[in-house]
Structure 1
Amino acid sequence: MTQLTEPVYYHQGELQMESSQIRTLAGKMATPFYCYSEARLLGNVRRCKDAFESRGIQIHYAMKANSTLHILRLIAEQGLGVDLVSGGEMQRALAAGFPASRMIFSGVGKSRAELNAAIEAGVGRLEGNQTESSQFNVESAEELALLAELAEQQNARVSVALRVNPDVSVNTHKNITTGQKGNKFGIDMERVCELCQHYADHSHLAIEGLAMHIGSQICDTEPYRAAIGKMMALVDQLAQEGVEITRLDLGGGFGISYGQGDALDFETIAEVIAAETERFHGTVIVEPGRSLVADTGILVSRINYVKAAEPRSFVILDAGMNDLMRPALYQAVHPIVTVNEAANGTAQEYDIVGPICESTDTFARSYPLSGDLQAGDLVAFLCAGAYCSVMNSTYNSRTIIPEVMVSGSEAKVIRQPVNQQTLMAFEQDMPAL
């Protein structure tokens, strides 16, 4: 059975988040919906700051993990920077209160329009009061050339970090490795010196940093040690060629436990990073995403049917793969619990599925749940605060589901559902081209 801890726990047989009863929330709004704990989010940010900032390491939240405005505002209020991977994320970050001076623009395929908008907004600008924690993480020679052209057109001088592909193997799902040869991300280490020399005297670009991101959901420190070692060697090589690197952006990817126990806590990885960069005299940056928000959220769903079948019965939920994509995309398994606490007894194994007309709409197979499950019962997927709501889609013409934030015994909707009536309005009276 899944062991529950704060902020999600059973009280008198009912699942709660902080002091709010999940069944009560489900009685006030349609399922499925996402529900987050404000206390856990703020606690995670505090622990992250205690680990990294105490060692002089800057933190930029990787907002691709969860970009709901209310969550972004809470994180911005704690003084963190933000890591972006699209122009849309920049718009959200600005709306949430992140200044351009605390934005890092990453991403392998930034468009001309996105780069122009970011330069105009002030991302990476070296004029005025711009701090050294804002930059463009450039992933190719072609992108660097385009950024130089656009910065010159806007008469701006911008700070650049070259994202390096350190070719380090990590023990994670193949779909979330980003730092090995064959991945689309980053620049081969052999080309970095060439690019730094080519742009050494450029009037509108300043290559001041090196960046890396080796993957996601990494629970071992050794890949970080290996990758940072390669980055430090590259810093030394560049110094010998007269190129000074003043910033190292070491990415994120710190793994959390999805019920299996393995995780990489902030204090452990911060200690490793501090030790491996001890002789580096510039700014060190990390970009945690999942590790800040994953365990703050749950997905609440209602059972539509318990379908008798062989070799196992199906629990068919009202949540589908369009609401929670990770199992279909990464074969991820989220811990699943019933909202009413089952009495001690033998658990029965079920295949937990959704209503989408796809065989991949399967959350778990042979999953043990206790109690006499019936249609109408509520279940909750744990650790659903990262890479879940941001992947919502309307496949099968389904509603984009709402999100709720809990603070103690109070709860409020932080994202309204987006239903088909709203979406169809965008398809009416379309103008001619």
Structure 2
Amino acid sequence: MAIDKGQFTDVTAVAKALQPSYPVYCVRPEVLAGSAKRFISQFPGTVLYAVKCNPHPLVLNALYQGGLRHFDTASLAEIAQISDAYSDAHTYFMHPVKGRAVIKSAFKVYGVRHFVVDHIDELNKVVEEVGASGNTIIVRVNTPPADDALYHLAAKFGAGPGEAAELMKAAAGRGASVGLAFHVGSQCRSPEAYGTALDILGDVIRKAGVEPACIDVGGGFPAAYGDRPVPALDTFMAAIRDGLKRLKLSPTVEIFSEPGRALVAHGCSLLTQVQLRKDDRLYINDGIYGSLSEMSQVAIRLPARLIRLAGPVSDKLGEFVLNGPTCDSLDVLPGTFALPEDVREGDWIEIDQVGAYSNALATRFNGFYPETFVQVFDAPPALAVA
């Protein structure tokens, strides 16, 4: 497991104390706990944190301190991690495709009672392994993804509305409680997408003639990256509330959501070091095979600032390309970063808003692996500027 070097007032204190030649994740527990409290207070139901987004214990502990007790888990390893860490936590098996042995272990060892399916064979598999009575089968419906989402998550999973209605009837006929779920896509900036998806769920419910036990509006809630402004969180909540009203559900129906990025993106930054400068190209000790792989896949521009412990720093900025540490020529971050024009070897660069899909996606390619985590208590650069 990753190294915990302790707690620091701010990121500059980290650089002074550790003089790190290795990447350092700077986790801000107060920001994470605040994000959890804010989301829980606004969402009209139960909030499940999507563990895949960032499963590091420091992150999970901060969210737990913020009041989170429910977790969207997609594997037995995630279920075990949450169950072993928090005795009062609830885990939900939200992956639509699961191995038989994994289903049985999740049920018998960890007490999981919610299972997502999107195909009749998966429904049969779950019922054959753990039975139907006492379990909730959540049918994932394929709904239109938001046009401006970073990732469209409907291509791989989700049953069409007609098939979903048949799955609801089949699950209910076998004695299971039945729910419905959807996902509008990651980093969705369209509150209306949730209302559209909920209207589709209304059609599924009417076709099935089955009262759902729960409705899961999924994830996709966005983080406010600097170059991609997003609507306020309460705008999304209003769209969800309006969509739920149109469904005319019983008051006993549980409402779930699965935020990930919106909870953790601002809660962690990355301290990297410049190891070489070639004109406007900087070679740093982390890259797309480590903490920053998402930047190579989607158009996210992360803020960055220079940290130098001794000597003045130029007020004039230049645009620099950041190169990762591996020997692969693909290990180059897209776009450029605005940094002082006199940036040099030995300087540190703090890259902000890396709480989501950073350490969770890091590889050990070429022997480089970011694994040092500390806690800091200053404001994230992006929020401090805002």
Does the TM-score normalized on the shorter chain lie above 0.5? yes
What residue in structure 1 maps to residue 164 of structure 2?
Answer: 192
Written as runs of structure 1 = structure 2, the 5 A alignment for 1:114-133 is 114-125=102-113
Q: Quick check: 1:73–1:97 contact (8 Å CA) kept in 2?
A: no
Letter in 2 for 1:284: I
Deviation at 1:366, TM superposition (A): 3.4
Letter in 2 for 1:251: G
Checking the alignment, whether the CA contact within 8 Å between 1:160 and 1:207 is kept in structure 2 is: yes
TM-score with structure 2 setting the length: 0.87
The alpha-carbon deviation at position 359 of structure 1 amounts to 2.6
Classify the secondary structure of the residue corresponding to 1:363: coil
Matching residue of 1:83: 72
Q: Indicate the SS of the match to 1:322.
A: coil
1:220 aligns with 2:187: no
Tell me which of 158, 163, 169 is aligned to 2:140: 163
Q: 1:343 to 1:400 in 2, by over 3 A?
A: closer
Q: Which structure has the higher relative contact order (CA within 8 Å, separation 6+)? A: 2
Q: Please, what is the CA RMSD of the aligned residues? A: 2.3
Other-structure match for 2:239? 272
- How far is the alpha carbon of 1:98 from its aligned partner? 5.6
- 1:359-374 alignment, distance < 5 Å: 359-374=329-344
The Cα of 1:272 is off from its aligned counterpart by 1.3
CA contact (8 A) 1:124 1:160 kept: no
How far apart, in 2, do the equivalents of 1:364 and 1:200 lie? 49
Residues 131-161 of structure 1 deviation map (CA, whole Å, 9 limit, x = unaligned): xxxx112132221111011014xx9642111
Aligned counterparts, 1:382-393, within 5 A: 382-393=352-363
- Mark the CA change 1:344 to 1:317 in structure 2 (over 3 Å): closer, same or farther: closer
Instruction: Give the structure 2 partner of residue 12 of structure 1.
Output: none
| Whole-angstrom distance in 1 between the partners of 2:8 and 2:325 | 31
What is the DSSP-based 3-state SS (H/G/I as helix, E as strand, rest coil) of the residue aligned with 1:364?
Answer: coil
**Aligned with residue 46 of structure 1, among 37, 40, 44:** 37
**Deviation, structure 1 residue 266:** 2.6
The aligned runs of 1:325-340 (5 Å cut-off) are 325-340=293-308
Aligned counterparts of 1:339 and 1:280: Cα–Cα separation in 2:
54
State the distance in 2 between where 1:98 and 1:75 align.
15
* Aligned partner of 1:246 among 194, 213, 233: 213
Q: 214-223 vs 25-34, which deviates more?
A: 25-34
Alignment partner, residue 93 of structure 2: 105
Bigger Cα displacement from structure 2, 327-336 vs 290-299: 327-336
1:166-181 alignment runs, 5 A limit: 166-173=143-150, 176-179=151-154
1:149 alignment partner in structure 2? 128
Unaligned runs of 5+ in 1: 1-17, 126-134, 410-433
Distance 1:351 1:190, change over 3 A: same
Q: Does 1:399 align with 2:369?
A: yes
Q: Which deviations, in whole Å up to 9, do the C-alpha atoms of 1:155-187 show, x marking residues without a partner?
A: 9642111011123443123xx2113xxx01111
Decide whether the 8 Å contact of 2:290 with 2:368 is kept in 1.
Answer: no
Distance of 1:280 and 1:199 partners within structure 2: 19
Which residue among 12, 36, 49 is the counterpart of 1:23?
12
Alignment of 1:63-78 (within 5 A): 63-77=51-65, 78=67
1:20 touches 1:406 (CA, 8 Å); kept in 2?
yes
Q: Is the 8 A contact 2:171 2:178 kept in 1?
A: no
Asked whether the 8 Å contact 1:250–1:287 carries over to 2, the reply is yes
The Cα of 1:407 is off from its aligned counterpart by 4.4
Residue 293 (structure 1) aligns with:
264
Q: Name the counterpart of 2:384.
A: none
Q: How many residues end up aligned between the 2 structures?
A: 363
What is the SS of the residue equivalent to 2:367? coil
Gaps of 5+ in 2: 1-6, 380-386
Q: Distance in 2 between matches of 1:88 and 1:104?
A: 13
- Change in 2 beyond 3 A, CA 1:393/1:19: closer
Structure 2 counterparts to residues 31-42 of structure 1, below 5 A: 31-42=22-33
Q: CA deviation at 1:112?
A: 1.7
